[in-house]
Structure 1
Amino acid sequence: MPGRRRRSRAGGGGSSRRRFLYLLGGAAVSGALISSSGAFSTSRLSRPVDVQSASDPNALLGLSIPPFVDAGQSGQELVTVTNNASTPLTVSVELPGASGTVSPASRTIQPEESRAFTVTLSADAAGGENALTFDVTATAGSSTKISLSRSLGVRNFLRNLEDRTTNNNAFFYLSYRLQNVDTFQSFEVVVRNLDRGWIPTRTYTSTDVEHVFRIPESGSDGGTAGSTYEFEMRVYDADGLALQRVLTDVADGNNPQDNDAIGGGPNDPVVVGFTITDNEQYTNAHYVVDYEVGNTSSLQEVRVTFDNRSNSWADETETSTDTPTGTVTYDQGGVGGDTYDITVEVVNENGIVTDSLTKTDVADGADP
């Protein structure tokens, strides 16, 4: 059967820095414009015009833009628009071709009034300096139209929690990847069990832009299945606290539904595909998995997990460093007829799972 592809199995900080832009300087009919490059120009508003840029402090339309927004976050300030004109302006803001939405899409702003537009970006939104472009259009009836585009940076903070709780014992793997965080200094996660008072609060730190923490570092938290854990994650740059996220998870062996997919970069290892040979006989399972992987320059290992849906004692994970192709096998007695989820994952040199592919098979001697 077809496989399920995932890049991995397993809220935001702000800044007081602002960029202020003022558009359409002068009177309502004729205005002086100073472009971003410092060049001087004039515009006459007897008919609709498109204005590309200006920075006149007496402008009719003022924009306050933060230096960046964060992928995967909702309700972030995108731009605050000030109406310096003597007449109401209808202002709309759009994201052309971006992985996100603006709220509200349009609003009427009264004279001397400022209104904010917010943005919600998907976790896989492209990051980098000036990565997010938005269009602003302001109109006053049919005689005045101001249109322009502006850009700002996008920071990426991807995190993935793998809940390995089993037999009433809890432990986790927390992976993260940071991109486009200027002057990054360190990552910190504070882990608390909100229901079991005997479990200590733990703090883990790293100075790497991507890392995997085992929580706890060894062993497991006994008797904590079903309890709630809180993971408070903080990113520090040269100015102090730059980003903060809080994740909660019930220790039940199931991963959070809002896990980010860490992977998809140009140099990340990928799973090209794999085949399963089912040699089950006399209720004994015997699987042969032949895989192919790509982008292997940063590959640490290939993991193949055999997950028995009925009997967790039959679960097993095999690893291999053979590339670009390789073979792993699995043998287990007394599981004939059981359903298996078989997953091939690729792990990069920092321990991050960057891609995976899952197929399902019944151990019955017939290949999927």
Structure 2
Amino acid sequence: MIDAYGRTITYLRLSVTDRCNLRCTYCMPAAMRFQPRVDLLDWDELGAVADAFVALGVRRLRLTGGEPLVRKGFVEFVGRLSRHLVSGALNEITMTTNGTELERHAEALARNGIRRINVSLDSLNPTRFAQITRGGQIDRVIAGIDAALAAGIAVKLNTVVLRNDNLSEVVELAEWAHGRGASISFIEVMPLGDVEQSRIDQHVPMAAARDLLDQRWTLTPSAAQTGGPARYFTTDEGGTIGFITPLSENFCGGCNRVRVTATGQLCFCLGQDEGVDLRAMLRNHAPTEPLENAIAAVICRKPLGHDFRIAAQVTGAVNRHMSVTGG
């Protein structure tokens, strides 16, 4: 698949649920209204979508949510998709998780082909973590991270940097990650959906986080790539730090990915509302080949870049919440 700007699409982020057991302040409102379950793709439909994209040349598949591990049957779904790893059609299957359910699933995920995961971790302070996540328990996340590492899964922490919440923790978080043999990426907050807080108050340009880290280490640009948008650096001590800068330093020119939501909407860009309804095709019992043809026919609609803006407003620049789109 090649879009109108000559970018080859080799990376799919597939959401398996919009539901989450946390309510992070930058992601959703406290009283989030989730999609009716009947509107979510079932496991067969999600499998058909994954199969179609693999047939079209996707080489990396990231499973997202919401929180993927809260949906019953997720580990078995990973096992079903692992045949694409065995055949060589996929280079990897990865996932993004908040880590709260990871401890009891880590070994099974490793057995089913997961070799690398991203875990959201926005604070090491139990009180602050509970505030950001609206009730989350940091001990459960740490136990999940340790279980994943023990199972041989490489862990990258994802930290959304929030001006009044965790900016002061970026060095501590990086030291903690590196002490456990994990890498870490710091992310600018993105204006996705109404979260009942001002995005201006939340937003931190990544240069501010970088300044704090530069006081601790000399950061050297790294050639490392994981298929995502992060730019990576290494520290004097060999640790890896990434920066994801959708607002302050746009990375759209090299974008190689699309997303499919848990309701079957093909999103060409995280920062655009436009999408294509794949669920209708699936529920009309269309065979695999027409689904592949339909996807290939619309990939040219992928825009050059996003429309993210942090403005003096509460609502997001894009109506979908991150949990709906898939992180």
Q: The TM-score by the shorter chain falls in which range? A: under 0.3
If the length of structure 2 is used for normalisation, what is the TM-score? 0.23
More helix by share: 2
Relative contact order, CA 8 A, sep 6+: which one is greater? 2
> Bigger radius of gyration, 1 or 2?
1
If the length of structure 1 is used for normalisation, what is the TM-score? 0.21
